Amino acid sequence: MFKLVLISALFLASLLCGAQNAVDIIPVPVEMQETEETFVIDESTAIQYNKDDVELVRLAAFLTLQIKDISGLELPHNVEQSKNIRFEVIQDNQIGDEGYRLNVSSEAITLQANNRRGLFYGLQSLFQTLPSVRTNEQLKVPGLQIVDYPRFEWRGMMLDVSRHFYSPEAVKHYIDLLANYKFNVFHWHLVDDPGWRIEIKKYPKLTEVGAWRVDHLDKVWSERPPAKEGEKATYGGYYTQEQIKEIVAYAQARNITIVPEIELPAHSVAALAAYPHLSCTGEPQFVNTGGDYPEGVQTAYCPGKEEVFSFLQDVLVEVMELFPSEFIHVGGDEVDKSQWENCDLCQKRIRKEKLEDEDGLQSYMIKRMEKFLSLHGRKLIGWDEILEGGLAPGATVMSWRGEAGGIKAARMGHDVVMTPGSPCYFDHYQAGPEGEPAAIGGMNTLKDVYTYEPVPEVLDQKAAKHVLGAQANVWTEYIATLSHLEYMVLPRLLALSEVVWSPSENRDWINFNRRLRGWHFRTFDQKGFNYNTGNSKVVITPESSKGELKVTLQTEIVDGDIVYTLDGSIPDLKSHKYNGPIEISESCVLKASTVSDGKILGWVPASQTFEIHKAIGRKVEYEYPVSRYYMADGPNSLTDGVRGTLTVGEFWHGFNETDMVAEIDLGQTTKIHKVILGVLQKRKDWIFPAQKMNVEVSLDGKKFTNVATVDCPLNPDDVSNQTIDYTAVLGGVEARYVRVTATNFGVCPKGHPGEGKPTWLFVDEIVVE
């Protein structure tokens, strides 16, 4: 009886919850109540506002155009009608500079805010209750009482137009998407190695030369060869200053500030192709085509030359004339400082300014540019590498290499924008990757984005106040068209909008999905947008502990079921239905698919091979900690029966600057015939093989005996991407404890982009037979 009552109560609660949340507004408001009333926009409706307020006149024109587009109605302004839509500027400390109050009754829609910005955001919520295209249905607005305001002041999206150029019209379309979901920052990545996209009148070669490159559309970005002498540059484009002014005004009308990025000191190949004398060597070079940099290419300005600072200041003066943004982004990331190490002028600058090293030289350059911007009333913002060598006094840090840089900066009292690669890089896969368009790698699903918390738990209250907000970045190596761009940001953009606008306690994954698949997906379909419907691929997670291996299966499809097989066959509707963790006791191939509405979803099932051996499920203890960025599924991933692939983020443990020393307790004394360690080589990504592997064994866990040393089995000339097995044949030695040491390669060799920097060691499994 108790169970029946509980089920009935839950069912009733779900009905009530559904009734109270029938409106599909994203991001979800701070407070919202629905009433029984309905407002119908028709010929008897007028827009009312203070006609002496220029901002309200413009806002009323914006509303008029939107209503005309979806209905053909052209609403009159400030005339007597039986029904009204009212704009009211009030003083309300609760809602702040960007909040609003929206009240809908049968006779009036009243929108109140402290300024135009809040009124504009209120309109975005109102529009999400109406048809998005003209369908000739009545324009019915449900009765509502909304109080709403944003959680964060920085709600951003970035677009890289250097790798692939997007027309001014495409950029405006991108801005419209941001405005629809209450973003207020458009970070415009205008210059980089593959192209300079902004007209600078004092330096015309930046666009005459730097905006164009040789292109190889038949090859993926990473495999494109460098340009050769005599090849014609055919791909590119740039924005004239008049076009930029128009786009800036377009964004301002939609409450969006454009933050331009002018990369320095690195990612400057296009600029240096136009003006080679600004590099350390002064040698001529081509705009980067994608793929590896050709030998000898200069990627960074020479901070030893005073003319470099004059050039950059001239550029920034013109940039500041075009962009009224408080912030100017200067990049500051991924500097190849070996160029400076070999430059007499850079070394002279280090000595003259009493700098410690090349990190100090980078800091010197950033601090000089920060001071220059500050004198012009602007603030410098840069990627988290600007912390290296010392942070400029007024600099704001954009943390992309995880959150560590942002945490460090916030604790130093600097403002921070969180944009970690996971989950804020929208150039990564969001589903599949089978059946998905090619992406640069990684996996940031819709749920990954939705569950992101921009304020790290480790920050105290004082430091947390320096987190301005978060943004997502769209790098476009693999995204060449507007349709593909839409697909990569929709619907992840909507998930992020709720993260940065709504109170964290208002976020609900299931409710978000209901709203998303209502008005918003319907709108995308009606407007012909290209979007992803969700990640249906089953996530297979091994759990290795206490000598057992269990596997959990998860799907992001709300209300979806999972079916699976253990014999490698393709699951169908008659296969095992997942109801809880699956125990794996023998080697097998597990395949799983999501089922929704009686159909199997996805192109191919998720698949994982499990190899059962004597160390399965046994606890692993490390002498040196695993990188928190590359920890696979946890500390016991080395004993979960799963071998890694060439995808870096999957099932690999990463060690930087240290060896891997792992000790395993097998639980009882047993004969060991063989120990195998899996290692990854992807030298381009700074991942090198181990120099050697040592295997030690013990009966008591105290006294260990070295029983094997295995050198790297690769030919030194074999630098291809691959997985490598280090195999030690032991011939039946008795032991309970096994300790495996993989010696880190050391530093990147001469000629590597990371020359002299610590390498990464990636390991996947310790197989004990």
Tokens of 13: 């609660």
Is the bond leading into 27 cis (omega within 30 degrees of zero)? yes
In the block, tokens 């980089």 appear at 192
User: Whole-angstrom Cα distance, residue 11 to residue 732?
Assistant: 61
User: Whole-angstrom Cα distance, residue 768 to residue 749?
Assistant: 33
**Residue 752 phi, psi (nearest 5):** -80, 145
Active-site annotation holds for 107: no
Q: What distance lies between CA 303 and its chain's CA centroid? A: 31
Tokens of 95: 């809602």
User: Whole-angstrom Cα distance, residue 133 to residue 120?
Assistant: 20
DSSP H helices in 356-402:
358-375
Return the DSSP state at 193: T
User: Whole-angstrom Cα distance, residue 321 to residue 673?
Assistant: 72
User: Whole-angstrom Cα distance, residue 601 to residue 615?
Assistant: 35
Tokens of 387: 């912390």
How are beta strands 45-48 and 154-160 bridged, if at all? unpaired
User: Whole-angstrom Cα distance, residue 532 to residue 466?
Assistant: 34
- State how far the alpha carbon of 167 is from the alpha carbons of 171, 213, 321, 475, in Å: 6, 17, 22, 16
Reduced to 3 states (helix: H, G, I; strand: E, B; else coil), residue 249 is: helix
Catalytic residue among 334, 341, 548, 769: 334
Using an 8 Å Cβ cutoff, are 397 and 382 in contact? yes
Using an 8 Å Cβ cutoff, are 573 and 595 in contact? yes
Reduced to 3 states (helix: H, G, I; strand: E, B; else coil), residue 552 is: strand
So which residues are the catalytic ones?
334
